[in-house]
Amino acid sequence: MTDDTILSVADLSLRFGAKPKVKGSGLLAVNKVSFDLKQGETLSIVGESGSGKTTIGRCIARLYAPSQGSMVFQAKDGPVDLATLDKAGLRKVRREIQMLFQDPNASLNSRMRIGEIVAEPLEIHGIGTKAERIERVRSLLERVGLSADAVNRYPHQLSGGQRQRVGIARALTISPRLLICDEPVSALDVSVQAQVLNLLGDLQKEMGLTYIFVSHDLGVVDYISDRIMVLYLGTVMELATRDDLFAAPAHPYTRALLDAMPARVGGKHRKRKVLSGEIGGPSGLRKGCVFAGRCPFATDICRTHEPELRPWRRRPETRVACHHADDLDLGSYDQPPPEPESLP
């Protein structure tokens, strides 16, 4: 952990519906996830549906209590472990950690006016006088690009993009330091997506915010991230800077995600490839690498031993969980390697 680390997650696991005395029971949604987050950076979490992205975000926001692991957050008053914090401690730290959700329709109360929605967190936390709250709401709505008369409107009177701007204003009213964004632009039109992403980027710089950005869309992630964490069945496959991940993917699953993306604008046109094989079951006791069943490079060791996340020989800043990563050259986003058949 370095000085500018704001959050340090170690060995985070969450098992849904586990029976206390039955080892391996329930559904392992998050499997020993570890990462550090630096003040002011954007770390994205990508992976297919059901890979555990939302669950990790909800653990950090402590909407879920993890089954195992620690999440040390550098709060204003000093470090706290979010995993074991009591109710009073959580209430305090919630001022510093906020969540932004995918569907602004579902997350905004349809019977409340926009002004009330944005002011609510201030009221919950008892911040400011009435006049100060009104002023704070007005200036935030303006900052996120909504006109002053929006305060008296209802969510259904706004467009999807405008609603997500309200969601952003609401998340920022109490000046959090960490914002967990769960697919914040997935429900929006592509043209509106870029506007909202730009707004998030500008706000981050102005307010020194740190983002955890959950998305299944690598195009969006390419646009916004400093670093990217690739998740498969709750397990970290690769953790790399955005540039490294696209220039030199280390894990066969990352390669598969890149192959499923349309070419970048101006990039070479290429055929989209779709992963074959079955996604393994997330429950029960696991053996080996969770991706082995779908991996074109899998050998015996992959089916028997779970690989650890460790620095990659070719780019030490990249960490990868693959027995064969050091022997593989998976090309780059723009230059896929020849069809893999087996290990060299």
Ligand X SMILES: Nc1ncnc2c1ncn2[C@@H]1O[C@H](COP(=O)(O)OP(=O)(O)OP(=O)(O)O)[C@@H](O)[C@H]1O
Q: How many CA atoms lie within 13 A of 80 on its CB side?
A: 21
Residue 42 sits in the site that holds ligand X (CB under 6 A): no
Smaller CB separation from Mg ion, 49 or 342: 49
| The CA-based dihedral angle spanning residues 70, 75, 78, 79, taken in that order and rounded to the nearest 10 degrees | 10
Closest C-alpha among 145, 148, 143, 144 to residue 115: 148
Smaller CB separation from ligand X, 27 or 199: 27
Smaller CB separation from Mg ion, 54 or 210: 54
Smaller CB separation from Mg ion, 52 or 252: 52
- Identified binder of ligand X from the candidate list 216, 273, 286, 310, rule CB under 6 A: 216
String of DSSP letters for 119-178: HHHHHHTT-S-HHHHHHHHHHHHHHTT--GGGGGS-GGGS-HHHHHHHHHHHHHTT--SE
Residue 282 sits in the site that holds ligand X (CB under 6 A): yes
CB of 65 to ligand X, least distance (A): 12
CB of 247 to ligand X, least distance (A): 25
Instruction: Looking at residues 42 to 81 of the shown chain, list those that interact with Mg ion (rule: CB under 5 A).
Output: 54
Residue 50 sits in the site that holds ligand X (CB under 6 A): yes
- Identified binder of ligand X from the candidate list 53, 242, 319, 324, rule CB under 6 A: 53
Closest C-alpha among 298, 283, 305, 221 to residue 22: 283
- d(Cα 44, Cα 53) in Å, to the nearest integer? 10
Residue 55 sits in the site that holds ligand X (CB under 6 A): yes
Smaller CB separation from Mg ion, 237 or 298: 237
CB of 14 to ligand X, least distance (A): 8
- d(Cα 2, Cα 8) in Å, to the nearest integer? 10
| The CA-based dihedral angle spanning residues 43, 48, 49, 52, taken in that order and rounded to the nearest 10 degrees | -50
Q: With contact defined as beta carbons under 8 Å apart, do 177 and 6 qualify?
A: yes
- Identified binder of ligand X from the candidate list 10, 11, 18, 27, rule CB under 6 A: 27
Answer with the entry of Mg ion, ligand X, none that 16 interacts with (C-beta below 5 to 8 A by kind): ligand X
- Among the listed ranges 52-60, 118-126, 244-252, 327-335, the one in contact with ligand X (CB under 6 A) is 52-60
Binding site for Mg ion (CB under 5 A): 54
